[in-house]
Chain A
C-alpha cells in the first residue's frame, strides 16, 4: 500500500504539477515537496509527490552499491 513510483516533473502550477512516468504524463500534487522544480525526479504516492529523489547513475544508489557497480562490467546486467 506504500507503493510509490518515480516520475519527472515537467511543469508546475501552484501546488499541481505534471509529471512524466516513462512517457505517460499524470497530474501530481507537490504540496509535500515545496522546493521541487521542473526536471526533478520525485517519488509519487496516492497522487502526491512525497520526496525528491536522486537521479544520477548507480554511484548514488546507496552505500553498499558503491562497490557493487564495478561488477556490472561492460556487458551490462
Chain B
C-alpha cells in the first residue's frame, strides 16, 4: 500500500484544525482582512467551510486567483477565431470551455462542429500535432506560473523535434505583479496575503519579498489542506501582531514547506526565461497590469498562434453588469452582486468569478449558499 505523503491524516485532522481555529480566534482583536489569490485556496476555503469558522472580525477575501477567470474576453474571442479557421484544432484545458467570449464560447463552437479538444497536459497538444501533421494545433495558453513551465517545456520539445504545426495562444498571467496592484487598492485595508502554494513551488517564496517590503503586507505561502490554510492564516495573524507590537517589518513566511523553497524550481524558471519574456497583460475585471504576462521570445515567435494564424485583436469592453472586478479587488463579496445566483449562476455565468469552478462566486455558490454561511 502506498502511504499518503505528508501525513494527510494530520492535514485533515479536526483536532489540529480546532486548535488552529482557537489560535486564530485568540489572535484577532480588531477587524482584519486577509486575501488569498489562488483558485485552489478559494475552493478549499469554501469547500471545507473555513470562512464560517473564522471570528466575526476576520474577513477572508478571494482575489484574482483563477487564471481562467482573469482571461480577457478578447483572449477568448481569439481562441474562438482560431477554432473557426479551417484545418485548425483548438486544444484547451477543460476550464476554458464554457467561458463566454463576446458572442460565443469554445463549447458552443464545438457544438457547432469546430474541432475543439480538451486536454489535461500540454504534451497532448504536442502529440496531436505530431499525429496530424496536416492540421494546425493551437493550444490555449492559460495559466499562472504553475502551468506556464509545462507549456514552455512542451514548446521547447516541439522545436527540438521539428514539429511545425503547433502553436500557443499566450494568455499567461504572473501573480506577484497582481499582488502589487492588490496591495494598493484604495478603501480596502489589507493585513496579509495568503500566497498560492503551487505558483510558489515554481517562483519561490522570495518572489513576494518586494510586496512585503514595499507595501508592508505580511505574506505567507500556504498549502491546500484545511490545516495548511488555517495554519497559514494563524501565521499571518501572528506576523501582523508582531509587526504592531514590536514595529517589526512585514516579511514572507512559508507554511507549505514540504513543497516550496525560497528560490523556487530553478529548472522551471530557466525554461520560462528561455521561452518567454515578460509583457504587460490585461486581467478581466481588473484591467491592464504592467509586466504581468508572458510573450514569446524572438526565437520562439513561430509558436505564437496570434502571429502565426493572424488572429484578430478584438476590443471588447469587459462589460457584464456584475461586480466581479470589485470582488477580485476585495472590495465586495459574491452575495453583494445583484446578479449573483439569479442572472449569474454556474450554468449561466455572466462575470469572470462565476465562469470557472475556481472563481470566488462559483465556489461560494456551490458550497456556501446553504447552511447559514453569511459570506463574511
Contact = CB atoms under 8 A, between A and B. Distances in A.
A62 B143 contact: no
A48 B95 contact: no
The 3 closest A-B pairs by CB, nearest first: A47-B121, A77-B13, A58-B7
Given A32-B153, A45-B198, A62 B255 contact: yes
Interface of B: 2-7, 9-16, 19-20, 38-40, 66-68, 93, 95, 120-124, 142-144, 146-147, 149-150, 153, 157, 196-199, 201-202, 223, 227-228, 231, 234-235, 253-260, 265, 267-268, 271, 356, 358
A53 B5 contact: yes
Contacts of B11: 61
B12 A48 contact: no
A25 to B, nearest CB: 11
Contacts of A46: 93, 120-122, 143, 147, 150
B221 to A, nearest CB: 10
Place the interface of chain A in its size category: 35 or more
A30 B239 CA distance: 37
Contacts of B199: 2
Given A1-B68, A1-B147, A2-B196, A65 B227 contact: yes
A63 B235 contact: yes
Given A1-B93, A2-B146, A54 B235 contact: no
A2 B358 CA distance: 10
Contacts of B253: 63
A47 B150 contact: yes
Nearest to B199: A2
B146 A69 contact: no
B120 A47 contact: yes
Given A2-B39, A46-B150, A63-B231, 16 more contacts: A31-B157, A43-B201, A45-B198, A47-B122, A47-B123, A50-B149, A50-B202, A53-B5, A53-B6, A61-B11, A61-B257, A61-B258, A69-B10, A71-B13, A71-B19, A77-B13
Contacts of A23: 2
Nearest to A55: B5
B149 A62 contact: no
A63 B257 CA distance: 8
A51 B256 CA distance: 13
B132 to A, nearest CB: 19
B117 to A, nearest CB: 15
Contact of B265 (A3, A29, A50): A50
B93 A51 contact: no
B297 to A, nearest CB: 18
Contacts of B16: 65, 68-69, 71-72, 77
Nearest to B227: A65
Nearest to B14: A77
Nearest to B157: A31
A12 interface: no
A60 B1 CA distance: 21
Contacts of A54: 5-6, 257-259
A47 B206 CA distance: 26
Contacts of A41: 5-6
B6 A1 contact: no
B251 to A, nearest CB: 13
Contacts of A32: 149-150, 153, 265, 267-268, 271
Contacts of B201: 4, 43, 50-51
Contact of B153 (A4, A48, A55): A48
B6 A60 contact: yes
A51 B265 contact: yes
A58 B253 CA distance: 19
B147 A2 contact: yes
Contact of B149 (A1, A48, A60, A76): A48
Contacts of B39: 1-2
B146 A50 contact: yes
Nearest to B122: A46
Given A32-B268, A77-B15, A64 B234 contact: yes
Interface in A11-69: 20, 22-23, 29, 31-34, 41, 43, 45-48, 50-51, 53-55, 57-58, 60-65, 68-69
